[in-house]
Amino acid sequence: MKVSLIVATDLNRGIGKNNDLMWHLPADMQFFKKTTTNHIVVMGRKNYESIPEKFRPLPNRLNVVLSRNTAFTAENCLVFHNLQACLDYFKNEAERTVFIIGGGQIYKEALDANVVDEMFITTVNHTFDADTFFPEFDENNWDTEVVERFTADEKNQFDFVINRLYR
């Protein structure tokens, strides 16, 4: 089983405000879609509920929602009550990557459990008034390669870079 993490942050590691994205970058959304399609996406309940209803579950992906609420259900999704139970379920998965897609608490759990093999981190060249942040981690434990650099244009308001961190 391969576990990847995919996230977009601002220059201060901000990832959201009021359970929503703080920017509109179609090129980054395309990267997210292309990278996670035909794989498994794991997200917390709040992150799942922040996805507009018409887009959930995310198409062409196995959607997994983590919730401590044992009564929580999500149509056409698998629900687990903790990250470890989810990872145990997919331990023999060889074809698809398990992508941790947020939010902040789920990212922190995955990094603290040391289960992440690679990370795709989009850094938006701007600072926003975030209330949720990507957790600190020791970048010295990771090799980094630039996947793509984007310059702001008429559809993408900010410059951003996508890095792949791996070990």
Round to whole Å and give the CA distance between 163 and 145: 6
**Domains of the chain as residue ranges with CATH:** 3-148 (3.40.430.10)
**Which pTM does this prediction carry?**
0.96
> In terms of C-beta density within 10 A (0-12 exposed, 13-18 middle, 19 or more buried), how is residue 45 classed?
middle
User: Alpha helix locations (H) across 26-166?
Assistant: 26-36, 45-50, 83-89, 104-112
- Tell me the pLDDT tens digit for each residue of 63-116: 999 999 999 999 999 999 999 999 999 999 999 999 999 999 999 999 999 999
The torsion region of residue 87 among left (phi > 0), alpha (psi -120 to 50) and beta comes to: alpha
